[in-house]
Amino acid sequence: MKFFNHMTFGQYVPAESPVHGLDPRCKILVVLVILTGIFMAKHPAVFAAWGVLLAGLTLAARLPTKLVLGSAKPVLILALFTASIHIFFTKGEPLFSLGIINITSEGLVLALYMGLRLIFLVLFASFLTLTTRPMELADGLERLFSPFARFGFPAHELAMMMTIALRFIPTLLDETDRIMKAQLARGASFDRGGLWKRLKAFIPVLIPLFVIVFQRAEDLAVAMEARNYRGGAGRTRMNPLRWRGADTAALILVPLAVFILVYADRSLA
């Protein structure tokens, strides 16, 4: 249950900062460039530089460091699982052997890099939700997808679905935490016994959680129909998006920094 405490992924944190004031389209494009650059990182010095960039963005967004780092909690288990696969199944110079288990130096290095990449991906992607309101994010996605609408691409519907999914991540985590606390009050145990027993203990949590999910989906559909929601056709916005000079500067400086890091990584490698 402690795993769900202080979960920040998918939440929006209001603040007066230059990052919050950027156009959502700019932030989406910048995050995509950053994520592409992280996939190419291969040198320890470059990973350290990505950490410095992350710290700089955290300072510029005026967000607590603990809050930003907490967004990586959902992928810690996945990062460890991915790293373990590379440790045990990567061929190379053996460091330790026990039967069919072979741990190589190349596997340890690859596991470390893959784990860092995955964690950095989530940390940088979390800035998009931590500094952008859900409605602004939906508008930004729709505007970016709008050129493809002429080819039949459902720009508005896709943007709405992605925004609703991000919006309900914190809500579902809160519901899960509430159900687990109720089950613990009834004598349930989630951290005792073997793996199979622990998995069986989560069945009384998953069933009411699925019921809550379907109920919330039905309530949302009824609310949208009651407000005569008919998609993006003829829809106007109270606060239309405006591209400013700061957005142009960010869209130039951040990709330039990413290009420098990628070039440095290639040179060092």
DSSP code string of 163-187: HHHHHHHHHHHHHHHHHHHHHHHTT
In a domain, 14, yes or no: yes
In a domain, 68, yes or no: yes
Q: Is 239 helix (H, G, I), strand (E, B) or coil?
A: coil
In a domain, 43, yes or no: yes
Percent helix, percent strand, percent coil in the chain, to nearest 5: 70, 5, 25
Q: Which domain holds residue 126?
A: 7-132+243-269
Note down pLDDT in tens along the chain; length 269 residues: 444 445 555 578 888 899 999 999 999 999 999 999 998 888 888 889 999 999 998 999 898 888 888 877 777 777 788 777 777 777 766 666 666 667 777 777 788 888 888 888 888 888 888 898 877 888 888 888 888 877 777 877 787 787 787 778 778 878 888 888 888 888 777 777 666 777 777 888 888 888 888 888 888 889 888 887 777 666 667 677 889 999 999 999 999 999 999 888 888 86
Q: Is 133 helix (H, G, I), strand (E, B) or coil?
A: coil
For the chain, how many structural domains are there in total? Answer: 1
Residue identified by tokens 């890091």 is 261
CB 87 within 8 A of CB 98: no
Distances (CA, A) of 86 to 82, 95, 105: 7, 14, 11
In a domain, 153, yes or no: no
In a domain, 205, yes or no: no
In a domain, 163, yes or no: no
In a domain, 67, yes or no: yes
In a domain, 268, yes or no: yes
CB 8 within 8 A of CB 70: yes
CA 23 to chain CA centroid, nearest Å: 19
